[in-house]
Amino acid sequence: MIQENVLEALKHVTYPGFTKDIVTFGFVKDIAIEGNTVALTIDITSSADEVKAQIKQDATTELQKIGFETTIITITAPQAPKQLSNSMSGKNIAPHVKNFVMVSSGKGGVGKSTTSVNIAVALAMQGKKVGLLDADIYGPNVPRMMGLDGQKPEIQGNKVLPLKAYGVEVMSMGLLMESGQSLIWRGSMIMKAIEQFLRDILWSELDVLVIDMPPGTGDAQLTLAQSVPVTAGITVTTPQMVSLDDSRRSLDMFKKLHIPTAGVIENMSGFICPECDTESDIFGMGTTAPMAKEYDTELIARIPIEPAIRIGGDSGMPITYHKPDSQTAKRYQEAATVLWAFIEKVNAEGGANNQAIQPTTPPGVSACSTTATTATAKPHSHEHSNSGGGCGSHNGDGKGGCGCH
């Protein structure tokens, strides 16, 4: 038996929550073989005990299958990070929040808010301290979806207390203005609003803040990424090609904003008939995984079209909480588990860092563009508190020349 046999066998051990195996990830080290005994080290990136136990068990099984009687497997893992991810260099205007998740999409109406709500509720049901920020200033839907429509948050001094539903702290522009009111805002005002949501809301010491973004790749996304180190980005898409085209822009934006991409959620993927529980294809299914691969990430959930999801949204009763045994609730729970594993991996590898996209990058080099241009070196409008060079999107009217747009 030689090292190659061992590596071949361990290629059957996938890293929990991911599709790649531990050999491909490069985690297997120091293989020593003597007769029927093999000793090796698996150097993983997660500090979670259940991940260690799972890998050890799977590796032992695979090595026994190829004839080893004694397996000595040492798993080395990083210490659970004591520091918050936001203590990294870069900017963080909400340092009491440990992790930030940006839920984005290229297209409107594909299910970002529904996904944000259900993932936030799933994470809370898994014991995490969770906040949900509705950063869709123009179309705030989260209050209705969380059953908080019409409620007003308490003001403390010049700060605002988030409301709470299903174990999740919630804030939205919809909670701060009268229902049905429209907002006509300039880009610079959107940036200020996003900053205030992070700075002036009395969030607890959250494990994670899930942020439901407006559709597209604009000022809100850029301001958020510059204001806090976003630990994970999720792109929501529907399976049609026209939606996938827009999703590519969203995935590209994560890359340009240095946001680690947790993966893609394919929403409205097939239809589950409420009568017979069978699944049929409407917008197409399974088109998303190849696109995710193009961007070095993966499909983390396929959520079908299901009337109960829409009803749950309209009635403020998220399916994940109210129908926990449904197939869809289980898929949201799985997606939340994968997301959390990803967050742990990012933190074990040093955490998110938004230093590179701060507006202080050298003049002429846009944080969002791969080439230096003189156009991006223009001084920024004084209206925006982050201004000072760098990304050309920060002109006062929010219509900049940033490559992210």
Residues that bind ligand ATP (CB under 6 A): 105, 108-114, 136, 139, 141, 215, 267-268, 303, 305-306, 309-310, 313
Q: Which does residue 222 touch among ligand ATP, Mg ion, none (CB within 5 to 8 A, set by kind)?
A: none
Min separation Cβ 146 and ligand ATP, Å? 12
In whole angstroms, how far apart are CA 181 and each of 149, 177, 196?
13, 7, 20
Strand 163-165 versus strand 168-172 pairing type: antiparallel
Q: Which does residue 243 touch among ligand ATP, Mg ion, none (CB within 5 to 8 A, set by kind)?
A: none
Compose the 305-344 pattern: x for residues touching Mg ion by CB under 5 A, - for all others: ----------------------------------------
Q: Which does residue 111 touch among ligand ATP, Mg ion, none (CB within 5 to 8 A, set by kind)?
A: ligand ATP
Min separation Cβ 45 and ligand ATP, Å? 31
In the numeric block, which tokens belong to residue 13? 């051990």
With the CA atoms of 156, 158, 164 and 169 taken in that order, what torsion angle do they form, in degrees rounded to the nearest 10? Answer: -140
Residue whose entry in the numeric block shows the structure tokens 């990803």:
342
CA of residue 393 relative to chain centroid, distance: 23
**Which of 22/101 has CB closer to Mg ion?**
101
Task: Give, as one character, the DSSP assignment of residue 300.
Answer: E
Restricted to residues 99-158, the positions that interact with Mg ion (CB under 5 A) are 112-113, 136, 141
**Which of 173/230 has CB closer to Mg ion?**
173
Distance CA 66, CA 386 (A): 59
Greatest Cα pair distance in the chain:
76
Min separation Cβ 346 and ligand ATP, Å? 24
Min separation Cβ 379 and Mg ion, Å? 34
DSSP string, 192-254: HHHHHHHHSB---S-SEEEEEPPSSSSHHHHHHHHHS---EEEEEE-SSHHHHHHHHHHHHHH
Please report how many Cα atoms fall inside a 13 Å half-sphere around the Cα of residue 32, on the Cβ side: 6
Q: Which does residue 218 touch among ligand ATP, Mg ion, none (CB within 5 to 8 A, set by kind)?
A: none
Q: Which does residue 206 touch among Mg ion, ligand ATP, none (CB within 5 to 8 A, set by kind)?
A: none
With the CA atoms of 66, 67, 73 and 77 taken in that order, what torsion angle do they form, in degrees rounded to the nearest 10? Answer: 10
Q: Which does residue 267 touch among Mg ion, ligand ATP, none (CB within 5 to 8 A, set by kind)?
A: ligand ATP
Site size for Mg ion, by CB under 5 A?
4
**Which of 215/392 has CB closer to ligand ATP?**
215
Q: Which does residue 217 touch among Mg ion, ligand ATP, none (CB within 5 to 8 A, set by kind)?
A: none
Secondary structure (H, E, C), 383-395: CCCCCCCCCCCCC
CB atoms within 10 A of CB 382: 9
Contacts of 125 (CB under 8 A, 6+ apart): 167, 320, 321, 324, 333
Min separation Cβ 309 and Mg ion, Å? 14
Min separation Cβ 105 and ligand ATP, Å? 6
Min separation Cβ 88 and Mg ion, Å? 29
Restricted to residues 233-272, the positions that interact with Mg ion (CB under 5 A) are none
Cα Rg of the chain, angstroms = 23
Q: Which does residue 150 touch among ligand ATP, Mg ion, none (CB within 5 to 8 A, set by kind)?
A: none
**Which of 303/352 has CB closer to ligand ATP?**
303
Min separation Cβ 111 and Mg ion, Å? 8
- Contact set with Mg ion (CB under 5 A): 112-113, 136, 141
